[in-house]
Amino acid sequence: MKISRKASTILSFVFLGILSIGIIIALFMIPQIMDYFKENFKINRDMQNPAIYLLYAAGITGLTSVFFLFNLLMNVARNLIFTDGSVFCLRAVSWCCIIAGILFGILSLYWLIFLLGAFGAVFMGVMLRVVKNVIEEAVSIKNENDFTI
């Protein structure tokens, strides 16, 4: 099923809005999440505070990446795809993914399930780095062609 470019852009904005709301709700629910883990997984008090800080850091990293994705999507809506601004947004999102992967990797020392999140976040960060390199090369070629003409 193929939808129009404009509809796809609008749908992406909606998904980003839902994602940002979900992250904000999750940030407010971290204490309740930790209470659940404390009761069901028998964590001790020494593990609770570092885990809370790591979860907050991961949430803030997620919100930062949503901000840069929103900027990237705004560039797409304005037909400013092959620009240095788009490359910067992709670079920022890829680093946010890698940082989140590191944070989830540290959390996996407490609970092994976070290793899946760490792997997924680092994998996404690496994929975005490759896309960033492709777009960066396209910007370089575009700029070179603009000077030629």
Nearest to 9 by CA among 103, 76, 59, 61: 76
pLDDT tens digits for range 117-148: 999 999 999 999 999 999 999 999 988 887 77
Ranges 47-51, 74-78, 79-83, 93-97: which has the least confidence: 47-51
- Secondary structure in 3-state letters for 87-113: HHHHHHHHHHHHHHHHHHHHHCCCCCC
Higher per-residue confidence, 112 vs 88: 88
Say what percent of the chain tops pLDDT 70. 95
Q: Minimal CA–CA distance to 37: which of 27, 47, 28?
A: 47
**Using an 8 Å Cβ cutoff, are 27 and 62 in contact?**
no
Q: What is the pLDDT of residues 30-51, one digit of tens each?
A: 988 888 877 776 666 677 788 8
- How far is the C-alpha of 15 from the C-alpha of 10, rounded, in Å? 9
Supply the pTM of this predicted model. 0.87
- Quick one: average pLDDT of 63-88? 94
Q: What's the pLDDT score for residue 47? A: 74
pLDDT in tens, 97-116: 999 999 999 989 888 888 99
